[in-house]
Amino acid sequence: MMFVLSVSHRQAQAAVLEGIARLHQMNIATKRPDDYFAEMVKTDEHMKKVFSKFTLYSIQYFVIFWFHLLLLY
């Protein structure tokens, strides 16, 4: 079984390498541009608000959880 997996893995690897070479011959990019993540849907300010609310809710949940736990004992 291990031999079969390694042979099929090598075949897939060879196919990928051949495919990448063909794409390069056709001048098709195979890597993401350096600024791929530069255009985000949400602004940094919006994400800061989301993170702060998430942090606040996490702290509140943590405090309530431990308070209830202390009341039980």
CB 51 within 8 A of CB 45: no
pLDDT score at 72? 74
The answer to whether the CB of 30 falls within 8 A of the CB of 24 is yes
Quick: pLDDT tens for 33-62: 776 666 667 777 888 888 888 888 888 888
Q: What is the pLDDT of residues 18-33, one digit of tens each?
A: 999 999 999 998 887 7
In sequence order, what DSSP letters do the residues of 6-63 get, joined into one string? HHHHHHHHHHHHHHHHHHHHTT---S--TTTTTS-SS-HHHHHHHHHHHHHHHHHHHH
Question: What pLDDT is recorded for position 14?
Answer: 92
Q: Is the pLDDT of residue 1 over 70?
A: no
